[in-house]
Chains A and B, each alone.
Chain A
C-alpha cells in the first residue's frame, strides 16, 4: 500500500521538476524513491497488515506485494538503462513521470480487489505508454507505433470493459471475492451472458499479453517505438498483464476452469507455434524479441491454464527471469546500435572482438531466453512445465518443448553472429560505467536466479 503512495508521489514530483528546476537531482531522487518503495513493500510483506484498502478496492496480499517488488526492480533496472540517454533529451521529466505513472498502474494491476480497479490499473499503465511509444516525434515508425498501440489498446480495453459489465450484470458485484462466491454458489446454472463476459475478458487480457490471435499490434509497436520504451513494454507491461491475468482467473474463475480451459489451450498452442516460428524469419533484433515475447506469453499462459499451488511462483519467476534477460539484451542493443532505426542482426557481427563483455552478457541473456541451464530462463520454463504436467497437460508441454527448440534456433543467431561473423566495422565499442555495472548485475542475476531459484519460488508458499 505504502509503496503505491511513494510511487505515485514520485511521479508527481517528477512532473514538478521541470517547473521547480531540480532536473539534475531527479535521477537520483527517483532511484532512491524506488528503493524506498521496494523497502516499504518488503516491510509489509514481513509484517502483514492485511487492512483491505478503500472497501476492498485494493488488497495488498502476499501476491500483490511480491509483484510490487518485482515491478520496482525492473523499473529500477530500466532507469539504469535509460538514464544516460534521457539526460540528453529535453523531455526528461515527462519521460520520468510517465514511466512512474505506468508503474503505479502496474501495482494496481497486481493488487486489485475489484474489477474497476483492474480496469483503472490497465488504463493508468497503458496511457503513458501510448504517449511514450510516439516520443520519437520525428520518426514515422514511432508515430505509427503510438497510433497503432493506442487504437489496439483501446479496442482491448473496450472488450475488457464490456466483459466486466456483463459479469457485473450476472453477479451484481465488481468485487472479485464476491464474484468468486457467486460463481461457486451458482455453478452449473450461470447465465449465458456470464460466459460471454468471461470470454470477452479473456480476449481483452490476451490483447494485453499479446497472445495469438490478438498479437497483431505487437511486432509493429515494439519495432517502431524507441528502444528504451520497447524495453519497458516488453518487460514491465508483460509482467503486469500476467499478474492481473492470473490474479483475476485464479480467484474468480478457477472453479469453472472447464469453461475457459479449451479457449486458453488453443490460444497457448497457437501462440507458442506462431510466435516461435515467425521469430525465426526476422532480421531485425527488436522484431525478433517482439515475436519471442509473444511466444513467451504462450509459456506463461500454461501456468494460468493449470492453476495450482505452484502457478503464482512460476509466473512471477518466469516474468522476472524473462524481464531481466530482456533488459540485458536491450542494454547490449543500445550500445551496439547507435540509433533507434537500425537494429538489424548484422550489427552484432563480430561483437566478441569489439567488446567481449557485451558479447558475453548477450550470450547469457540469449541462453536464458532460450531456456538453457543453468540460466534463470531454464528454471522458469522448468517450473512452468512442472505446473502444467501437474494438471495433466502432457501434449501442450510437448508442443512447448518443440517450440522452445525452434526458439533455440533464433536466439542463437545473435550469439553466432557475435562470435563467428566478421564485423561490419571494427571499432571497439566503449560503454559507460553505468551500463557496464547494469549488464554485470543483470547477467549475474540471470545466473544466480538460475542456480538458487528456491528463494523466489518460496515467496508465494
Chain B
C-alpha cells in the first residue's frame, strides 16, 4: 500500500500545482509536497528492515485483465534503495531552483513532480507492461522540461534525446511482447512469469531479447557507443533537468539491467554479456579521456557520468554478489554526487556567467565554505576512502575482478583517470589566482547551503557507515542471484 501512495502522491501534487498561479507559492507548495513524499519514503525505509510487512510494501490489482496486465508493485531492498534516492533528491532539486527565475514555475514544478511519479513507478513495478508504461511516462516530462526551459539549440538537442531513448524503448516493447507470448497458457506480464518464460527460451531467442533490452538500457544510461545524445542534452537542459537526468533517470537503465534483463535471459547474458561488459569498460576509458580535455564544466561532469555509469553496468553484468551490491551502492552514491556537482556548476555559472574552466580560478580565496563543500563532493566522486564513492567502486571492482582480472584492471583506470580530471577541474577553478570574474565571488547563501549540506552529509555518512544501505539490499540481491543460474563463458 505504501508503494501506491508513493506513486500517486506526486501525481496528485503535480495536478494540484498546475492550478497554482502565484509564482512564489508554487515554489513553496512544490517543496512542501516533495518533503512530505520524502517523509513517507522514510517510513517506507524503516519498514524495509522489519520482518513480515510485505503486505504493506506490495500491492496488486488487475488492470487490463484480458491481457494479463496487473497493477502490481512491490518494494524490496533493490527498489527501496532507488525510491529512497529519488525521493531524497527531488526536494533538493526543487530547492536548488529557488534562485533561478523560470517563467511559469508552476508548470516547471508540476512536471518535476510528474516525473517523480514515473520514476518511483519504474522502480517499484513488478509487471512488465506497467514497467514499460512508467518507463515511457518518465520521458515526457523531462522532454518538456528541457524543451521549455533549456538553453541554446534546445529544440534539436532534446528531440535527438527523445528519439534516441524511444528507439531503445520500442525494441524493449517488442521483446516484452515476445516474452509475454511465451508465458502461456495463463498469459501474464507478471515479472515471475516473464522470468520463467525468458529462461525457457532458446539461446537465439534469448539473445534477441537480451539485445533489445540492452539497447533500451544502454541508451538510457548511456553506455558507449550509445551516448552521443547525452553530453549535449546535459549541457542544454536547465540545471534541474540535468540533475533529474543524471541523478535519477539514468538509474532506470542500471536498475533495468539488474531487475529486467539478467534474470530474464541468462542464456542471452552468457552469449552477449561479455561483449556488453567490454563495451562498458571501453566507455569508461573513452569518456574519462574526453573528460580530461573538456573546457566546459557541465560537459566535463557529463562525461564523468558516462565513465561512472560504465563501471556500474560492467559490475552489474558480472552478476555476482559484490558486483550487484556495488552497483546498487554506486547508483545511490553517484546520484548524490552528480546532483551536488551539477548544482555546484550551476552556482559557479550563476555568479560568474561562465562555465569555461580556463576563465575561472581562485574562487577559494573569496568563497571558502563553497570550496570545502565542493572538495568533499569531489572526493566522493573520485572515490576516496571514507566517502560514499569508495564503497561502491570498491565492491564493483571486486565484482569485476571475480569475473576477469584483466577487465578489472582496465576498469580500475577509471579511478585514476577520474582523479585526473576532477582534481584538475578543482585546481583550475578553485585554486590559483583570482581574476576579475571570480574576485567578487559570493560564498554560498542559506538556500544553497540547505541543498549542499544534506548532500555532503550523505557523501560522508555513507562513506563511513554504509551498513544501513547494505543491510537493506543484501537479502534482495542474494535472493535475485540465487534465482538465476548463469552459465558464464569465461
Q: Taking chain B's interface residues, is the majority helix, strand, or loop, or is none over half, making it mixed?
A: helix
The distance in angstroms between the C-alpha atoms of A379 and B139, with both chains bound, is 17
- Tell me the chain B residues, 156-195 only, with Cβ under 8 Å from chain A: 159, 162-163, 166-167, 170-171, 173-174, 177-178, 180-181
CB of B148 closer than 8 Å to a CB of A:
yes
- What residue in chain A is nearest B140 (Cβ atoms)? A372
Contact A419 B147 (CB under 8 A): yes
Contact partner, B177, options A386, A409, A419, A461, Cβ 8 Å: A386
Interface pair B133/A389, CB less than 8 Å apart: no
Closest Cβ–Cβ distance, residue B205 to chain A (whole Å): 10
Contact with B along A403-425 (1 / 0, CB 8 A): 01100110010001001100000
Residue among B147, B148, B163 making CB contact with A409, cutoff 8 Å:
B163
Which bucket holds chain B's interface residue count? 20 to 34
A408 pairs with B177, CB closer than 8 A:
no
Residues of B within 8 A of A389 (CB): 174, 177-178, 181
Is B64 an interface residue, CB under 8 A from the partner? yes
Tell whether, in the assembled complex, residue B155 and residue A416 are in contact, meaning their CB atoms are under 8 Å apart: yes
Q: Which residue of A has the minimal Cβ distance to B208?
A: A394
Find out whether the CB atom of A405 lies under 8 angstroms from the CB atom of B140: no
Instruction: Give the chain A neighbours of B167 by CB distance below 8 A.
Output: 405
Could you tell me the distance in whole angstroms from the C-beta of A444 to the nearest C-beta in chain B?
14
Q: Are the CB atoms of A412 and B159 closer together than 8 Å? A: yes
CA distance A461 to B137 in the complex (A): 30
Known: A405-B163, A412-B162. A458 touches B174 (CB 8 A): no
Given A373-B132, A389-B181, A416-B155, A454-B66 contact (CB < 8 Å): yes
- Bound-state CA distance A454–B65 (Å) is 7
The listed residue (B147, B162, B180) touching A386 by CB distance below 8 A is B180
Contact A401/B174 with A412-B159, A416-B147, A420-B147 known, Cβ cut-off 8 Å: yes
With A and B bound together, what is the CA distance between A458 and B64 in angstroms?
10
Minimum CB–CB distance for B235 against chain A, Å: 18
Residues of chain A within 8 A of B170, CB atoms compared: 401, 404-405
Tell me which of A372, A378, A386, A420 contacts B155 (CB under 8 A): A420
- Would you give the shortest CB distance from B262 to chain A, in whole angstroms? 23
Bound state CA distance, A416 and B66, in angstroms? 37
What residues of B have a CB within 8 angstroms of the CB of A398 in the complex?
174
User: In this assembly, does A385 line the interface, its C-beta being within 8 Å of a C-beta of chain B?
Assistant: yes
| Chain A residues positioned under 8 Å from B155 (CB to CB) | 416, 420
Cβ contact of A453, chosen from B64, B137, B166, B180, cutoff 8 A? B64
Q: Which of A347-397 contact B (CB under 8 A)?
A: 367, 372-374, 378, 382-383, 385-386, 389-390, 394, 397
Q: Is the CB of B174 within 8 A of A408?
A: no
Asked if A390 and B174 sit within 8 Å, CB to CB, the answer is no
Q: Is B136 part of the contact surface with A, judged by Cβ < 8 Å?
A: yes
> A457 interface residue, CB < 8 Å from B?
yes
Determine which of A373, A378, A386 lies in contact with B67 in the assembled complex, contact meaning CB atoms within 8 Å: A386
By beta carbon, the residue of chain B nearest A379 is B64
Cα-based distance from A394 to B66 in the complex (angstroms): 22
| A382, B173: Cβ atoms closer than 8 Å | yes
CB distance from A212 to the nearest CB of B (A): 22
A416 pairs with B137, CB closer than 8 A: no
Cβ contacts under 8 Å, B148 to chain A: 419-420
A404 and B140 alpha carbons, distance in the complex (Å)? 17
A390 touches B136 (CB 8 A): no
A394, B140: Cα distance in complex, Å: 28
A389-B177, A401-B174 known; A408-B166 Cβ under 8 A = yes
A457 and B67 contacting across the interface, CB-CB below 8 Å: yes
Nearest chain A CB to B219's CB is how many angstroms away? Answer: 13
Distance in Å: Cβ of A415 to nearest Cβ of chain B: 9
Given A412-B159, A416-B155: A373 and B137 interface contact (C-beta under 8 Å): yes
Q: How far is the CA of A70 from the CA of B268 in the complex (A)?
A: 45
Are B147 and A461 within 8 A (Cβ)?
Answer: no
Contact with A along B76-96 (1 / 0, CB 8 A): 000000000000000000000
Interface string of B129-141 (1 = CB under 8 A from A): 0001100110110
A385 to B147, CA, bound (A): 30
A373 contacts B159, C-beta separation under 8 Å: no
Collect the chain B residues with CB atoms within 8 Å of residue A382's CB: 173, 177
Residues on B with C-beta less than 8 A from A372 are 136, 139-140, 166
A374-B137, A389-B181, A419-B147 known; A457+B66 contact, CB < 8 A: yes
**Are A405 and B166 in touch, CB under 8 angstroms?**
yes
Shortest CB-to-CB span from A419 to chain B, Å, is 6
Residue of B nearest to A416 (CB): B155
- Chain B residues near A458: list those with CB within 8 A: 66
From 34 to 75 in chain B, residues with beta carbon under 8 angstroms from any chain A beta carbon are: 63-67
What 0/1 readout, one digit per residue, does chain A (140-180) give for beta carbons within 8 Å of chain B? 00000000000000000000000000000000000000000
Q: CB-CB < 8 A to B140: which residues of A? A: 367, 372
Residue of B nearest to A397 (CB): B174
Contact partners of A452 in chain B: CB under 8 A? 64
Select from chain A the residue with minimum beta-carbon distance to B129: A382
Which residue of A383, A385, A401, A408 is within 8 Å of B162 (Cβ)? A408
Shortest beta-carbon distance, B340 to chain A, in Å? 31
Contact status A401-B136, CB under 8 Å? no
Q: What chain A residues lie within 8 Å of B154 (beta carbons)?
A: 420
Q: Contacts of B166 on A, CB cut-off 8 Å?
A: 372, 405, 408
Alpha-carbon gap, A311 to B200, bound state (A)? 27
Rounded to whole Å, the gap between the CB of B282 and the closest CB of chain A is 27
Chain A residue numbers with a CB within 8 Å of B174 are: 385, 389, 394, 397-398, 401
Question: Complex: how many Å from CA A383 to CA B67?
Answer: 9
Q: Which residues in B have their C-beta under 8 angstroms from that of A412?
A: 159, 162
Contact between A385 and B173, CB atoms less than 8 A apart: yes
Least CB distance, A460 to chain B, in whole angstroms: 10
Tell me, rounded to whole Å, the shortest Cβ–Cβ distance linking B61 to chain A.
12
CB distance from A141 to the nearest CB of B (A): 31
Cβ < 8 Å to B, chain A residues 35-75? none
Q: How far is the CA of A405 from the CA of B136 in the complex (A)?
A: 14
CB distance from B194 to the nearest CB of A (A): 15
A residues less than 8 Å from B147 (CB atoms): 416, 419-420
- Most B C-beta atoms less than 10 A away, residue of A373, A378, A383, A398: A373
How far does the alpha carbon of A372 sit from the alpha carbon of B65 in the complex, in Å? 21
Q: Which residue of B lies closest to A409 (CB)?
A: B163
Please name all residues of chain B whose beta carbon is closer than 8 Å to the beta carbon of A401 when the two chains form the complex. Answer: 170-171, 173-174
B residues 307-360 in Cβ contact with A at 8 Å: none
Chain B residues near A453 (CB-CB < 8 A): 64
CB proximity of B68 to chain A, nearest CB, Å: 11
Cα of A279 to Cα of B178 in the assembled complex, Å: 30
Specify which chain A residues have a CB less than 8 angstroms from the CB of B136 in the assembled complex.
372-373, 378
Q: Which residues of B contact A457 (CB under 8 A)?
A: 64, 66-67
Q: Give the shortest distance, in Å, between A429 (CB) and chain B (any CB).
A: 19
Q: In the complex, what's the smallest C-beta–C-beta distance from A454 to chain B, in angstroms?
A: 5
Identity of the chain B residue whose Cβ is nearest the Cβ of A363 in the assembled complex? B144
Distance A378 CA – B173 CA, assembled complex (angstroms): 11
For residue B152, give the distance in angstroms from its CB to the closest CB of chain A.
Answer: 12
Give Cα A394–Cα B167 distance, bound, in whole angstroms.
Answer: 16
Closest residue of B by beta carbon distance from A412: B159
Residues of A within 8 A of B177 (CB): 382, 385-386, 389
- A382 to B173 alpha-carbon distance, docked (Å): 8
Bound Cα distance from A457 to B68, whole angstroms: 13
Which one of A394, A412, A457 has the highest number of Cβ atoms from chain B below 10 Å of its Cβ? A412
Q: Point out the residues of chain A lying under 8 angstroms from B181, CB to CB.
A: 386, 389-390
A412–B159 Cα distance when bound, in Å, is 9
Q: Is the CB of B66 within 8 A of A461?
A: yes
A373 to B162, CA, bound (A): 14
How far is it, in angstroms, between the C-alpha of A4 and the C-alpha of B136 when the chains are bound? 42
16 further A-B contacts with Cβ under 8 Å, apart from A405-B166, A457-B66, are A373-B133, A378-B136, A385-B174, A389-B178, A390-B181, A397-B174, A398-B174, A401-B173, A405-B170, A408-B166, A409-B163, A416-B147, A420-B147, A454-B63, A454-B64, A458-B66
The 3 closest A-B pairs by CB, nearest first: A373-B136, A401-B170, A454-B64
- Show 8 A/B contacts (Cβ-Cβ < 8 Å), sorted by A: A372-B166, A382-B173, A383-B67, A385-B174, A394-B174, A401-B170, A412-B159, A457-B67
